[in-house]
Amino acid sequence: MVVIPTFHLVGRLHRIEIAESLTKAPEAAKQFWWNDRQKVLNPLETDIYYGLTRTHDPSFSWTTYLPSMRVEHLSDIPNGFASDTIPASLCVGFRYIRNHHYEEIDQQRAKALYNAINELSMEKKGKYELLDTDFYIEKIDTSTYDGQYCQMEWFAPIRLR
């Protein structure tokens, strides 16, 4: 468990059907990283990608996904971009480490990570409540990729019971 501070994100907002999220979210992430990240004004961490998923209502068949970069303030949002502020939160964090390029995080690899997260939350049922229906964040520090090593961090708010 970790405490994350309040921070701001700017990126391109996508509405993604849950049934298609394991393919559409990685596609949106790659498109942002290849084509749009240079348009984010004054990013705080030029090598770090953030993917923010928000579930606005559990009955909806879709979520919003914001491929983004962290910024100091929200006064310089480029046209066609969106912003979000993550509140300071107690989160559970997971780290995915494998021997491939970070752009190869695909449906199969993402599903394995989410299965592990779900298993852990079921094992600890009663001790805490995973609030991933509020939001969750993927974080990739692209500077750690050395030709062999890929790392992705995943954070979701948690409430201790």
Give residue 32's pLDDT.
96
**CATH number, domain containing residue 121:** 3.20.80.10
Residues of the domain holding 141: 2-160
Give residue 109's pLDDT.
58
Give residue 59's pLDDT.
79
Give residue 159's pLDDT.
80
Give residue 127's pLDDT.
73
The count of C-alpha atoms lying within 13 angstroms of the C-alpha of 132, restricted to the half-sphere facing its C-beta, is: 15
Which 3-state string (H, E, C) describes 94-113?
EEEEECCCHHHCCHHHHHHH
Least Cα distance to 40 among 15, 70, 4 occurs for 70
Could you tell me if 64 and 54 are in contact, meaning their C-beta atoms sit under 8 angstroms apart? yes
Provide the whole-model pTM: 0.84
Give residue 64's pLDDT.
94
Give residue 48's pLDDT.
95
Total number of domains in the chain: 1
Task: Give Cα 145 distance to the centre of its chain.
Answer: 18
Give residue 61's pLDDT.
86
Residue ranges of the chain whose pLDDT lies below 50: none
Check residue 98 and give left, alpha or beta (phi > 0: left; psi -120 to 50: alpha). Answer: beta
